[in-house]
Amino acid sequence: METLQIKKENAINAYKAADADIKDILSTLFGKETFVPQNICDRVKTFEDACAQLGIDADSAIPEAASPKLQKDELSIQAYCKLIIIVRALNEGWKPDWKDDSQYKWYPWFDMSSGSGLAYDGYGTRVSDTSVGSRLCFKSSELAEYAGRQFQDIYKEFMII
């Protein structure tokens, strides 16, 4: 008997495009757990993971530096671009509605005291007001907390010039 191998990604893509009958067949062949979506935090651990989630080439996603030796402000711009991609991936298509003042928008909050430099300190929410770039807000407090901890180094490059 021959063995047929298939990439998990291809099976998942087929499952997404299938009707109910084909989904049942695929679940029987590969197990239902194969098609249960993982938590986004399990899928996005790095900037490269975020790019893959969005179908973006990580090597060309960030603008080139203006000079061979990056200036601190250029690092900040590159970090901001990375954070936009990370936030888009973690929010899984959710976009804030800035006209809806009852919709919560979450972002990480950092302690930037002189003793610690930058440390994740919690998360905050604002309704229509925010003290960070609007593209960097999250749909939930859990995602804001995760991003603040997981991508602290990128936030540090963005915030500290």
Which ranges constitute the DSSP H helices of the chain? 8-17, 20-30, 40-43, 47-54, 72-91, 141-150, 152-159
Tally of domains in the chain = 2
Residue 89 backbone phi and psi in degrees, to 5: -65, -45
Q: Measured between alpha carbons, how far is 40 from 142 in angstroms, rounded to an integer?
A: 11
User: Crossing angle for the helix pair 8-17 and 20-30, nearest 10 degrees?
Assistant: 160
Mark whether 45 and 114 lie in a shared domain: yes
Q: Which residue has the higher pLDDT, 74 or 155?
A: 155
Range 65-92 average pLDDT:
84
Residues 108, 81, single domain; the answer is yes
| Residues 54 and 102 both lie in one domain | yes
Do both 112 and 72 map to the same domain? Answer: yes
Query: Cα–Cα distance between 77 and 3 in angstroms, integer?
Result: 50
In this structure, are 31 and 53 located in the same domain? Answer: no
Residues 31 and 46 in one domain: no
Whether residue 31 sits in one domain with residue 45: no
Q: What's residue 123's pLDDT?
A: 64
Residues 26 and 53 both lie in one domain: no
Are 62 and 134 in a shared domain? yes
Reduced to 3 states, what is the DSSP secondary structure of residue 25? helix
Burial 108-139 (b: 16+ CB within 10 A, else e): bbbeeeeeeebebeebbeeeeebebeeebbbb
Residue 124 has pLDDT above 70, yes or no: no
Which of the two residues, 87 and 111, has the higher pLDDT score?
A: 87
Q: Which domain holds residue 16?
A: 1-36
Question: Per mean pLDDT, which range of 24-28, 74-78, 104-108 is the poorest?
Answer: 74-78
Residues 64 and 139 in one domain: yes
- Looking at residue 36, what DSSP letter applies? S
45 and 66 both lie in a single domain: yes
> Does one domain contain both 129 and 152?
yes
